[in-house]
Each structure stands twice: as C-alpha cells, then as structure tokens.
Structure 1
Amino acid sequence: MTAEPAEETYRNPVLNADWSDPDVVRVGDDFYLTASSFGRVPGLPLLHSRDLVNWTLIGHALERLEPAAEFSLPRHDCGVWAPSLRHHDDRFWIFWGDPDQGIFQINAPEIRGPWTRPHLVKEGKGLIDPCPLWDEETGEAYLVHAWATSRAGVKNRLTGHRMHPDGTSLMDEGKVIVEGDRIPGWFTLEGPKLYRHDGWFWILAPAGGVETGWQGAFRSRGFFGPYEEKVVLEQGDTDVNGPHQGGWVRTPSGEDWFVHFQQRGAYGRVVHLQPMRWDGADGWPVLGDDGAPVAVHRRPALPPQQAAAPATDDDFPGGRYGRQWQWTANPQAGWATQHSGDGLRLACVRSAGAHDLRTLPNLLTQRLPGIPAAVEVDLRLHSEEPGARAGLAVLGDAFGWIGLQRGADGTVHLVHRFAEPVADRERDAGHPCLAPEGRARLRIEIGAGARCRFFHDVGTGPRPSGPVFAATPWHWVGALLGLFALAPVGPGHAGAATFTHFRITPL
C-alpha cells in the first residue's frame, strides 16, 4: 500500500507493548480497551481513546486477585485470561476466565468504577476466553467460551450457553457450538468474541496458535449453530506473524475496525488496528488489506487527537506510583510508603527467596517497551541491614538486575546479577564496586531483539556492567521491568530503599 501523509495515517502497532488479548468497546464518542493481566495486581487495565490510535491508561478494574491467599505469591501465567469488555443496560461489564477456577464477571456504572467484586458465573477447570452477548432483538443473553487443554484436557472447541440476562449465571449445561477438530487444518481455536450483525450470530476467533495462526470468523442464524467459517486475517506476505485475538468496534459514523494482538517474544503481545468492512456480496467481514495486516493505513474518520500513549515515566510524587505499575502478586501493606516528598520508598522485605526474583511478590513492574529504549532510575539504599539489596530488573523466564547491596562490613556495593531460565538462583554478571554514598544511577539500554546492556554511575561517571543480557518472556507474558527492595530473613524491620526519576527514553 502507498502511505498517505503522516498526519493522515497511523502505523501499527498502536500499542507497542504487552497489552495481551485486547478487547474494545465504544460508548458514545469514547473507546475503551482492556487486556489480560494474568497474575499481576491491580488487574484488568482500562485504556481510553477517542481515535482508536492514541490510548491512555486510566485505571484498573480489579484491585486484587481472588481467592487472595492463592495469589499471595507470583503465579505469572494464571489469574486473568482474555477478558471481554461490554456495555449493556447502562453498565460496563468485564468477563474473564481464570483457568484454575472458572468464568468471572464484574460490572460498574462508569468505566472508572466502582467495580463490583468478582462473581463466579461458571465454576470449572480450563474455562477460558468467555464473551457475553445481550441480544437486543430477542432480549435473550448468551455466553461463549474456549478451553485450556492444560487444565481441561480438551481444546480447539467453543462452548455456548444461554445466560441469565443479569449476567450472574448460566441457564444450561452448555453445548459445543464450534468443533475445531472437524474443520480441516484448524487447531487451537480460542479467544471467541460474540456479536450480532445483519441477522447473524458472529464469532470472531483466532486459531493456529499465537505465533503462526490466523483470525477466523464464524456465522450462524441461530446461536447454537450450525456455524460456517472463514479465515479473515492471516500473515500473508507481511511481517505480522499470527495476527491473533481481538475485537470489532464501530465508530459513530459507521466505520468498522478490528483491534488484535501480535506475539513478539520478549516484548509480549503488541496491539494492532485493522480496517474492517462487510463484503456486500457474501456478507463476510474483510479485515486489513483484503485479509492481510496493514502496517500503515488511513486513520479512522474521527476527530483528530493529540499523540498519546500509556505513561511510563514516574517521579513518584508523595511516594505514590503511577497506574502503569503492577505488583507480581497481591500486595501487602507497608511494601511502599507514602511521604511528603518525591520518590518511591520500598521497604526491604525480608525473604528467604531473595536469590530468585521470579518467586517474589514484592516486585513493582511495568511492561517492557516495544522499541529500543533506555531505562534509568536513581537509587539510594537506606537500609543498614547486611545483605539488604535493591535494584532495577528485567524479568522473564530469565532475569537480570543491577542495584545496590549492603555488605557485612557496612559498605554499599554496586552489584549486577542474572539467572538463566533453568537456574534457581542468581549469580554475578559484573564485578561489584563500592558505592560510597549508598547511591547509584542505574541504566538498562534495551536494543533490537530485547538485548539489554546494563550501566551504572556511583558518582564517577557512567560505566558499563557485564555482558549483553537477552530478555525473555514468561509463559504467556512478555518481559517486565521491575523495581524491588529485599533483605535476608531476620527479626524486625530491615529499612528501605528509595527510587527517583524513573525514565524510559527511545534510543
């Protein structure tokens, strides 16, 4: 395609970070998006846009994961999977599947809440990717979901239910309405989104796996089928591998658009926006450039908006952290302390597992940027406890971090450590050096392929540390940036560390 002038076009991805399994809804002139949050807290991020291109993070719908005790420690690939966001009866609704518990629902009168506590709509193992539909033509309500073979032993099928109109319960045992095993060449059918259009029930659902699959469409005159299918978006000759799960939205003027994700390794699942139209000849949806993802395209015919993206930088005013940060488990009181100045003051939490950051709940994280960028933060270690440490980390199946540690003799050293995916403890990646004032400026340069170089400045100028570290994803989650403070197991409080001037700047 020939690119139009820059001010008239947009470029994919429109959200260049790990906003996994996006779903989108329009209410009036506003568009809202949510995404999977898995085991991080708060969960269910809420993003807002007026033009489908520029998005800001306005909050989260889920304050804590439940049952709380099960999420007191990190469960990186559990929790909130593939939510669906809808607006019905003057309320916002989010349904999601917890693969170990079942299908949950919350709702609120406004997007910023207050949101209800999670309500279990259907209990069971392996119930994932639910999507409700309130049929305005008949007044009936329905729900469709997929299956996780890791818990249920089955996959590649979609199950449909009649749902009570109040969204609290299902009215039948359910029926398999699309059996992927009966469609030649189809496998790992999942992520259904359910709609009514032009007298048909429509299910937009991907198959083939997140890295190499395609987006399918299914239609039937009756909710319980039979459904016919068609591939409506696939990689083709583009560099967008496995265009995957997302949602359809219509603008006030009647334009149709489709939001979906692309799996990009350590960067996670970045979000693309595809033009969409309904073919007048056969009535099927046409996504992208005749079924292939677009890299550059004319912007939606919506009022122009200022460039915007979810926040990353943070000065931590009053010790409070911004919406972009999430803990790796349900947080406890006292991990972060509010105060009168700027800077994030983290308690050095005592932990027997301090040798492996992947097992710790008291890590404050945000998404890895999808473009080459430098991450910087100032750190001061206040704790006098021998063995207390704090730092800046890149977290995934493997992790690396750079920071400060208090020695047995009371001195503070700059340390740099890492662990491979198969390792259960960290080891040195660079040579420790003294940090005479207990302060350091920490820097990680993230280059192409999420290859990370670490730097530090303890008052003598920036210096590189250790070899290149290749960031890795977790099972379903892209790599994360993290801030932490730890101390060895022992009695009493172990003091704190303060982080200031957190910045992410393009390289």
Structure 2
Amino acid sequence: MSLLLAAAVARFDWFEYRGDDKLPKPSPSEYANPILQGFYPDPSITRVGDDYYLINSTFDWFPGIPIFHSRDLVHWTQIGNAIDRPDQLDFKSLGLSRGVFAPDISWHDGTFYILNTCVDCGGNFVITAKDAAGPWSNPIWLPDLEGGIDPSLFFDADGSAWIINNGAPPGTPLYDGHRAIWVQRFDTETLRSFGPRTMILNGGVRPEEKPIWIEGPHIFRKDGWYYLIAAEGGTAENHSQVVLRSRAVIGPYEAFSGNPILTQRDLPRDRPNPITSAGHADFVETPNGEWWATFLATRPYAGDFYNTGRETFLMPVRWADGWPRITDPGAVIPWTAPKPNLQSDGRSAPPTNGSFTARDEFNSTKLPLNWMMMRNPREHWWRIGDGQLTLQARPVALGDNGNPSFLARRQQHLNATATTALRFTPTAGGEAGLVALQSDEYFYFLSVGENEGKPVIRLHRRAGPNEPKIGAVVKEAALPVPAGTAVYLRAEARGANYDFSWSADGRRWHILVKDADGTILSTKRAGGFVGSMFGVHAYQPQSVTTERGRG
C-alpha cells in the first residue's frame, strides 16, 4: 500500500473591500490626502519626463516594493513589484517588520535604480530595470556601506553618482538612537560603491539636543546648492523632516535654522481628526519648476492607535531665501489642497484613496499586484483563474513566522469591510476563512472548520507571542450549511472595533462576534512598521492521507 497526500483546498469565489472614512472630499481643482491610503510607508519618488514613479517599503511581505506610476502626482496606478521572484531575496523566518526598509528609486541615462536594505537578510543592495514595471534585476550587494540602512542615489551634473545612507557614527554612539549620514561614490557600470566614505551629518541638525534616528537621507541640487534632506526623531509622533545645504556634495553642510521643515509633533494631541508622525519625505521637481514632497504620516482613531499603518501623503514644497519648507510651525497637514499644475489622467486602478469599493473576481491567472503573502513562498500553494482563488491548506499557521497559505490586501480605511465567499470541506482539523492581521502575533481568523465531523464557524484571536499560533478560539457556533457549499464571511472595522459575521446566502448576516478589540491590530499594540491586512487563509494542522492500492 502507498500513502499519497490528499491536499485539502479552499476556494474563494471573490473578495470585496469597501471603505469610507468620511474624509473631506476635494473639489475638482483639489486633491485629497493621503494619496496612498493604508500600509504604504517610506515613499520615494522620481520623475522621467512627464511620468512619475513612486515606491514604498513592504518589509517581509512578498511580492515587495510596489511600483506606482502617475502623470499628475495625484492619481496613482500600481504597475509592478520590484521584488517579485522568490529567489531575489530571502526573508527566511524573520519578524514581519524586518526585510526591505525605505527603498529609494532614481533614474539616470535610461536605467531605473532601486537602492534598499534587506534588514537581517543580506544588507544593502541595488537592483536595476530598463522599464519601471520590471523585470528588476537580482540584487547586487553593497558591503562597503558597513551595516547602514536607507541608501539612496544622487546623480550630479558632472555625471558622478553618489550613495547617501544612514550609518553608525565614528566610535561608540553617545546615546541610543545616535546615527550619522554618510556619502560615498558609486560606479553605475559595476554597480559598486568605491572610494572613501565621508560623514556629512553626525546625530542630527542640533547635536546638543541628542537627536535620534537621523535616516532616510536624499541629496538633490538646486541653484548651485546641494541639499540634504532626512527624517529625524523616529517614526512615531516625534517624527520630522530636516534639511541642510552645502556648496559641495561631501560638505560641509549647514542646517536650516527653521528646522524641522515638516512635522506634526508641535500640535495639540487632542485635536480632532489628527494626522500624526509625519516625515521620511522625498522631493520631486515638475517640468514647470514646481516642487512637491511625498512623505509618510498616520491617521489615528484614538491617541496613537492606528491600524492602517503609515500612509503616503503629498504636499507642495515652498522655497524662501534658498530653503525649502513643507509645513509651517504649528500648521496641520491638509486633507485637501490645490492640485499640482499637471495634466491629469484622472484614474487610479484600483482606487488608492477616498471612499471606494474594490472587488476581485479572480478571473485573471495572476495574483493582483496589490495582493501579498507573508515572506517568500517555497512552493506554489495557490491558483487563480476561472473566477476562483484556490488555496492549498497546509500545516503552516499564521503565527509560525513562515509562509502560510494566506493572501491579503491592505486595510486602507479606519472604517472598512472585507467580504468573501468560501467553498471548503473541513477535515481532520482543517480550517479556512477570512483574516484581519497586523503581524504573526496579532490577528483575527474567522474560519469554517469542523467539530466532531460537523461544520462550525469560529473566530480565532492571537494577541501576543504566548497565545496559540493559530490563535485562541474566541467563539464557535454550528454552521447550518452543507459542507463544500458557499459560506459568506465578513470582517467590519470601525476604528478600534471589529465585527465578524457569516451568511449562508450573502443577504442575511449573522454576527458571530461584535466589537472585538481592534487595538490588537494597531501598531501601538503589535509594534513593528507594517499595517493591518485583510485576506484569505487555509490551514491544515497535519497531513491528510488517503490509502490507494498498489495497482
């Protein structure tokens, strides 16, 4: 006799996401912030002619580093992912907030460059492409950066190229968070850094105040000056952006007396509808000489609690007396503002901000560009096509720090609903369903399972590393639906509260758990740098086997 694996599969007919935060609506001459809602942190931007390209951090999510395109800086369409092959990087079993941090995109002489750091998985690297949509090359590693992070490229008018990055200061750091900014030559032919590394900023713009985490540096040139911009203060509520300038790329650099040029830390914490934690900016100049900044910020629903992660915002850059500024002291980041003076194509596909509904019917054979999984896949456990997404149920739990059978898209609103239709026949403890997840240790899993051979609906919750890796069962109820027929599952977020429901027909809904604690899906509770995701998951705790004859 031989034993063959009989893979249990879960089939999802469609997945619908809806969100509405009742934010101010822009007039026809305005745009709305954030321009990319949800987990889109650390934006970097470049222009090629009349086209703009923007990328974000994705940490240990795969595929990673989304590539967006726009003609007007307002409407953005994802055209690819820079890390889209499992062999480009190896995220191993790292925590979900390790991996690719703060990428930088630039273009020079027909080639796109992305510089980045794979934290705990290789260090600093460069990848290139002729088309921003890809394919992107395998990484070329940059060991000369000596363990720093956040590298970026600057191309000078004489054709020379320079790498700027965050690194340790000389000697022993004076305090926790004491970092420095370094610059070094870069060879675009060999894709290697070379020559001496020069420190151009130690600690921050006011060293006597012991500033922390100077990072995300960029250099650009304007009117004979070299400008260095960088984030300072950490990525929480004290986040900010600062600027310095010099007559030479290697310095010395003079700090602007009006720093920071972007922050929200000087505003009352109890203000209504706050935008917080602003920083990590990158600048771009339009063909008509306007300057704009993309940057990250957050939208808490209470205090410092937000589940949507760090999002991408847009604001104009104003110049006065040779210095740039984004926000004035005490000024709030606007929800709406006049559009850039650019020709608009008026489309974002799928929608990236405002109130919208997005429905995936799974008619293509490829994973939607905005869908991701946790870490690199080692096998192909999903299939898309013919109006279904099929997941193989495998013995990898959401809390295993692995690559579970889980595909997800971002929660982009504080008030959002995710709904799906599932066909699954549970056996031997298998479960499949809908997930709201912040990390391996903090998630909800609304599943169809079985209890003594009878179908049940369950809500699992994991709220810390000491809880079961599939999550503890919060509530279970009998599921009066024949095994294998469609069951409709729904998760509804209302700020700090989440409701989990099911339906047998997609019309009459039954709430399994109401007002579940959504703060476990916040960065404040879960830690890290990512945002909450909605997705679908299939799990089988053990191999299911069937017996077949010798033949």
| TM-score bracket relative to the smaller structure | 0.7 to 0.9
Is the contact made by 2:183 and 2:250 (CA closer than 8 Å) also made in structure 1?
A: yes
Closer, same or farther: CA 126–76 of 1 in aligned 2, 3 Å: farther
SS of 1:54's partner is coil
The separation in 2 between residues aligned to 1:401 and 1:7, in whole angstroms, is: 41
Aligned length: 480
Gaps of 5+ in 1: 495-507
Is the contact made by 1:102 and 1:123 (CA closer than 8 Å) also made in structure 2?
A: no
Identity %, equivalent residues: 28
Deviations 1:414-440 (CA, angstroms, capped at 9, x unpaired): 111111124331212223222422331
Corresponding residue to 1:206 among 231, 245, 261: 231
Is the contact made by 1:415 and 1:428 (CA closer than 8 Å) also made in structure 2?
A: yes
Corresponding residue to 1:177 among 200, 206, 210: 200
Q: What's the CA shift for 1:477?
A: 0.7
Are 1:314 and 2:364 an aligned pair?
A: no
Are 1:222 and 2:248 an aligned pair?
A: yes
Corresponding residue to 2:543 among 486, 490, 495: 490
Residue 504 (structure 1) aligns with: none
The separation in 2 between residues aligned to 1:148 and 1:453, in whole angstroms, is: 46
Instruction: Name the amino acid aligned to 2:70.
Output: S
Is the contact made by 2:124 and 2:147 (CA closer than 8 Å) also made in structure 1?
A: no
Deviations 1:206-264 (CA, angstroms, capped at 9, x unpaired): 10111222110111112221111232112244833231102111112111100000034
Instruction: Name the amino acid aligned to 2:388.
Output: G
Residue 461 (structure 1) aligns with: 508
Residue 282 (structure 2) aligns with: 247
Residue 275 (structure 1) aligns with: 316
Deviations 1:396-415 (CA, angstroms, capped at 9, x unpaired): 24211112113442x32111
Are 1:284 and 2:323 an aligned pair?
A: yes
Residue 130 (structure 1) aligns with: 151
Corresponding residue to 2:488 among 415, 420, 441: 441
Structure possessing the higher relative contact order (Cα contacts under 8 Å, 6 or more residues apart)? 2
SS of 1:184's partner is helix
Corresponding residue to 1:24 among 25, 45, 68: 45
TM-score by length of 2: 0.81
Residue 388 (structure 1) aligns with: 430
The separation in 2 between residues aligned to 1:296 and 1:145, in whole angstroms, is: 33
Moved more, 238-247 or 59-68: 59-68
The separation in 1 between residues aligned to 2:465 and 2:404, in whole angstroms, is: 20
Is the contact made by 2:375 and 2:402 (CA closer than 8 Å) also made in structure 1?
A: no
Is the contact made by 2:29 and 2:338 (CA closer than 8 Å) also made in structure 1?
A: yes
The separation in 2 between residues aligned to 1:112 and 1:289, in whole angstroms, is: 36
Matches within 5 A, 1:104-143: 104-122=125-143, 126-136=147-157, 138-143=158-163
The separation in 2 between residues aligned to 1:395 and 1:171, in whole angstroms, is: 42
Moved more, 232-241 or 5-14: 232-241
Closer, same or farther: CA 155–167 of 1 in aligned 2, 3 Å: farther
Closer, same or farther: CA 374–90 of 1 in aligned 2, 3 Å: same
Corresponding residue to 2:182 among 144, 159, 173: 159
Q: What's the CA shift for 1:173?
A: 4.3
Closer, same or farther: CA 489–74 of 1 in aligned 2, 3 Å: farther
Is the contact made by 2:374 and 2:402 (CA closer than 8 Å) also made in structure 1?
A: no
The separation in 2 between residues aligned to 1:126 and 1:287, in whole angstroms, is: 31
Gaps of 5+ in 2: 1-23, 300-305, 352-357
Residue 294 (structure 1) aligns with: 334
Residue 452 (structure 1) aligns with: 498
Is the contact made by 2:409 and 2:535 (CA closer than 8 Å) also made in structure 1?
A: yes
Q: What's the CA shift for 1:493?
A: 8.7
Q: What's the CA shift for 1:123?
A: 5.8
The separation in 1 between residues aligned to 2:543 and 2:168, in whole angstroms, is: 42
Instruction: Name the amino acid aligned to 2:325.
Output: V
Closer, same or farther: CA 13–355 of 1 in aligned 2, 3 Å: closer
Closer, same or farther: CA 124–64 of 1 in aligned 2, 3 Å: farther
Closer, same or farther: CA 380–29 of 1 in aligned 2, 3 Å: same
Q: What's the CA shift for 1:358?
A: 5.7
Q: What's the CA shift for 1:376?
A: 0.5
Question: For the aligned residues, what is the CA RMSD?
Answer: 2.7
Q: What's the CA shift for 1:350?
A: 2.6
Are 1:334 and 2:412 an aligned pair?
A: no
The separation in 2 between residues aligned to 1:155 and 1:228, in whole angstroms, is: 19
Corresponding residue to 1:89 among 93, 109, 121: 109
Residue 263 (structure 2) aligns with: 234
Residue 501 (structure 1) aligns with: none
The separation in 1 between residues aligned to 2:330 and 2:530, in whole angstroms, is: 27
Residue 36 (structure 1) aligns with: 57
The separation in 2 between residues aligned to 1:348 and 1:4, in whole angstroms, is: 43
Instruction: Name the amino acid aligned to 1:485.
Output: A
Are 1:472 and 2:522 an aligned pair?
A: yes
Q: What's the CA shift for 1:74?
A: 5.3
Q: What's the CA shift for 1:53?
A: 1.2
The separation in 1 between residues aligned to 2:364 and 2:68, in whole angstroms, is: 24
Is the contact made by 2:263 and 2:327 (CA closer than 8 Å) also made in structure 1?
A: no
Closer, same or farther: CA 4–124 of 1 in aligned 2, 3 Å: closer
The separation in 1 between residues aligned to 2:87 and 2:145, in whole angstroms, is: 15
Residue 344 (structure 2) aligns with: 304
Residue 293 (structure 2) aligns with: 258
The separation in 2 between residues aligned to 1:492 and 1:313, in whole angstroms, is: 36
